[in-house]
Amino acid sequence: MTTSHKCISCEKEETVVPLVSLTFSKIPAWICTQCLPTLIHNPAQLESKFRDMDIENPPKPELN
Ligand SMILES: [Zn+2]
Ligand 1 centroid – CA 13 distance (Å): 9
pLDDT per position as a tens digit, 3-54? 789 999 999 999 999 999 998 778 889 999 999 999 889 888 888 887 776 6
Q: How confident is the model at residue 64 (pLDDT cuts 50, 70, 90)?
A: low
> Residue 8 in contact with residue 30, Cβ under 8 Å?
yes
Q: How confident is the model at residue 55 (pLDDT cuts 50, 70, 90)?
A: low
Ligand 1 centroid – CA 28 distance (Å): 15
Q: How many residues does the chain have?
A: 64
Structural domain spans, the chain: 1-54
Q: Tell me the β-bridge partners of 23.
A: 28
What global pTM score does this model have? Answer: 0.70
Q: What letters, b where the CB count within 10 A reaches 16 and e where it falls short, cover 31-55?
A: bbeebbebbeeeeeebeebbeeeee
